[in-house]
Structure 1
Amino acid sequence: MDFKIREIRTVAQGPKKLLREREAYSQLMQQGLSNKEACRIVGINEKTGRRWRNGRSADRRQKAAPPIHAVVPPSGPSRYLREDDRIYIADRLREKATVRAIAAELGRSPSTVSREIRRNRHPGNGQYRPHAAQARADARRPRPKPGKISQNPELRRFIQDRLHLRWSPEQICQALRAQFPQRPEMHVVHETVYQALYVQGRGELRRELARALRTGRARRKPRRQAQQRQPRFSTPMVMISERPAEAEDRAVPGHWEGDLIIGKDGASAIGTLVERATRYVMLLHLPDGRSAEHVRDALTDTVQTLPAHLVRSLTWDQDAEMAAHGAFTIATDIPVYFCDPASPWQRGSNENTNGLLRQYFPKGTDLSVHTREHLDAVAAELNGRPRKTLGWETPAERLHKLLAA
């Protein structure tokens, strides 16, 4: 409050309007104080406070006055909590009801009720007052709101620097929480970063930074049904259903998933190998083509660089480049398992990695121009990125622990 309230109110104030007192009373009510407490602090009669809060009707002696909090009409369907819902929550809390019981009675999720109580209770005494909670919710509702990234230059620079390094928004957000644990103004969720890049008119992040995303798109792409994969080949195969259970739960390292990413007009390719437990990536150099013999030789040379206990099996799809899988198994003693038709999700780690690699090797480009050294550099960069599924460790760190053990 920017004024001093008179401690003695015995002398009549006369026709002077209590403008600043009314504003202070409004602020105290929004903080969740009762009418009696707010009136005592401001130094007014409780009847005056109730008249300010509820408004008054016109009569012969005075004009009508609006309530101190304008009544906001219900906002559409019952997606949002309304004032009667908040009154019900407050009544049940006084009766010591649990959050789950209140949520079931209101037909809401327990997290909705829990979040409502946590966000809108009084910061001092922790009490939940429904009318003050409604006022806070109404104050938060107007749109548009200023973006958090645009208001914080340090946060904006941090995000832009990591986007230049081709980090994903989710990796950036986790790095912010790790580097600034005691600064909530530096914490955002990854959707905030996407909104700053995609939503036109915000201008919070430079639009050209969208090209640093793995998709390279400057706008969102709606989900659509996946196209059918090519039919499988007729060579006898061992199906993924016969793969050991230890490979399925990723408990034991050494089970790999493989595939090819294809270049322009199908004339070039790069082989990809991903270890299921650590997500460690290795790339196959195929400068002479992607025939079954070339893929077999590249696979054999690559897996022989690894310790035997880190190569237990290989899972591939049913494309023709694995027609020589029998010869590969004889040469390396590594069994090959094949996915079911049109089931790329059975090689989820590899499919995800191929999406990451497309940031380095875009579709429609000639992949034969990339040298062995360049492929190793790309793999090292991927293996140095923190991964959510590894508890934000890098694949290289996780593999190093296995080798050290």
Structure 2
Amino acid sequence: MTFAEREDIAVRRAIGQSLRVIGAAVGRSASTISRELRRNNVPGSGYRATTAHALAYERASRPKPAKLHVNVELRAKVEKDFQKKYSPEQIAGRLKREFPGREEMWVSPETIYQSLYVQSRGALTQELTRYLRTGRGLRHPSRKTGQRKNRIPDMINISQRPAEVKDRAVPGHWEGDLIIGKGNQTAIGTLVERSTNYTMLVHLPNGYTAEKMRDALTVKIKTLPEALRGTLTWDQGVEMREWKKIALDAGIEIFFCDPHSPWQRGINENTNGLLRQYFPKGSDLGVHSEEDLNWVAAELNDRPRKRLSFEKPIEAIGKLLLQ
């Protein structure tokens, strides 16, 4: 059972769902859920994913040493990719692409996590956890934050967006938003191309009023070839009050998500989470130069992505530009 499954079980158990309902949700039988709760539970503290996962691994027998213990080449490769801020899933997927005929150089994401977090499995130093998106030294269930509720006049709703945008097969359709800095005083604009996950960052050194956003976003979009300026989907933030001028000057159609619907910009939301590794919440984003932002975007575009079969965004968009 994976850590993600145990997280889901813990949350559902806490809200009182039955074993049958929990099993259906995680794709396991009710008897498996019952056994999991019975065997990997600490009396008096309730079922917790982190504790349960550690207990399960401590109990499991390992007749052979773990790969990351004995394979020095593999361990060095994993450590190097961690320093590039690749996630365990990205590392595991990229290993299969780079070493297609060498199974000894393959390792699962969960094995990498266990090597970091479970002391008895620890071939990797726990200091590498700082390269994870969360930067946590301990595993915790993920939490979702609320979204802004601002609305702007005369916007065109996402429901009117061309049908070709939805399946991500046609390039040139973008999702955008802001990441906000300390005291809501500074921000960085983020743009992500839907078919390739290619990311661009918008420099906003003097604030993010509608006028400043209009000028900076227009300049950034116009760096793209016309063929890659299809649509842009944005949150309902007041920084986009000048959206009509942006659309006209940059030659791109602009649409707005429904309120409280971050999944309508799912790729952008995920990318903003990745960017928090570089721009922590509560930090002053105004101290970063445009060169800093371009460097971060380049590093992010060099990360392999699961949705692209662990191809990198820079590789994926490079094919489009050659065409």
Secondary structure at the counterpart of residue 121 of structure 2: coil
* 1:212 matches 2:138: no
CA deviation after TM superposition for structure 1 residue 144, in Å: 4.4
> What is the identity, as a one-letter code, of the residue corresponding to 2:60?
R
* 1:258 matches 2:210: no
Secondary structure at the counterpart of residue 122 of structure 2: coil
* 1:374 matches 2:320: no
Partner of 1:357: 275
> For 2:59 and 2:266, how far apart are their aligned partners in 1?
41
Partner of 2:60: 143
After superposition, residues 146-157 of structure 1 pair within 5 angstroms as 146-157=65-76
CA deviation after TM superposition for structure 1 residue 240, in Å: 0.4
> For 1:379 and 1:142, how far apart are their aligned partners in 2?
43
Return closer, same or farther for 1:341/1:329 CA change in 2, 3 Å cut-off.
same
> For 1:185 and 1:196, how far apart are their aligned partners in 2?
17
Runs of 4+ displaced beyond 6 Å: none
> What is the identity, as a one-letter code, of the residue corresponding to 2:214?
R
> What is the identity, as a one-letter code, of the residue corresponding to 2:83?
H
Return closer, same or farther for 1:160/1:322 CA change in 2, 3 Å cut-off.
same
Structure 1, 166-175 or 186-195: larger mean CA deviation: 166-175
Partner of 1:229: 147
Partner of 2:91: 172
> For 1:190 and 1:173, how far apart are their aligned partners in 2?
6
After superposition, residues 85-100 of structure 1 pair within 5 angstroms as none
After superposition, residues 3-402 of structure 1 pair within 5 angstroms as 143-145=60-62, 146-224=65-143, 226-402=144-320
Return closer, same or farther for 1:394/1:143 CA change in 2, 3 Å cut-off.
closer
CA deviation after TM superposition for structure 1 residue 201, in Å: 4.1
TM-score by length of 1: 0.62
> What is the identity, as a one-letter code, of the residue corresponding to 1:380?
A
The runs of 5 or more residues in structure 1 that have no matched partner are 1-107, 110-140
CA deviation after TM superposition for structure 1 residue 277, in Å: 1.3
> For 1:144 and 1:367, how far apart are their aligned partners in 2?
48
Return closer, same or farther for 1:326/1:391 CA change in 2, 3 Å cut-off.
same
CA deviation after TM superposition for structure 1 residue 227, in Å: 4.0
Return closer, same or farther for 1:178/1:327 CA change in 2, 3 Å cut-off.
closer
CA deviation after TM superposition for structure 1 residue 383, in Å: 1.5
> For 2:147 and 2:98, how far apart are their aligned partners in 1?
43
CA deviation after TM superposition for structure 1 residue 142, in Å: 6.3
Return closer, same or farther for 1:251/1:179 CA change in 2, 3 Å cut-off.
closer
> What is the identity, as a one-letter code, of the residue corresponding to 1:160?
E
Secondary structure at the counterpart of residue 278 of structure 1: coil
CA deviation after TM superposition for structure 1 residue 318, in Å: 0.8
> For 1:382 and 1:285, how far apart are their aligned partners in 2?
16
Return closer, same or farther for 1:143/1:333 CA change in 2, 3 Å cut-off.
closer
CA deviation after TM superposition for structure 1 residue 182, in Å: 3.5
Secondary structure at the counterpart of residue 274 of structure 1: strand
> For 1:252 and 1:168, how far apart are their aligned partners in 2?
27
Secondary structure at the counterpart of residue 281 of structure 2: coil
> What is the identity, as a one-letter code, of the residue corresponding to 1:296?
R
Partner of 2:51: none
Secondary structure at the counterpart of residue 246 of structure 2: helix
> What is the identity, as a one-letter code, of the residue corresponding to 2:267?
S
The runs of 5 or more residues in structure 2 that have no matched partner are 1-27, 30-57
Partner of 1:41: none
Larger RCO, structures 1/2 (Cα 8 Å, 6+ apart): 2
> For 1:169 and 1:198, how far apart are their aligned partners in 2?
12
> For 1:346 and 1:264, how far apart are their aligned partners in 2?
26
> For 1:264 and 1:142, how far apart are their aligned partners in 2?
45
Q: Computing the radius of gyration over CA atoms, which structure comes out larger, 1 or 2? A: 1
Partner of 2:5: none
> For 2:129 and 2:287, how far apart are their aligned partners in 1?
26
Q: CA RMSD in A?
A: 2.0
Partner of 1:48: none
Secondary structure at the counterpart of residue 283 of structure 1: strand
> For 2:311 and 2:127, how far apart are their aligned partners in 1?
29
Quick check: 2:152–2:238 contact (8 Å CA) kept in 1?
no
Secondary structure at the counterpart of residue 363 of structure 1: coil
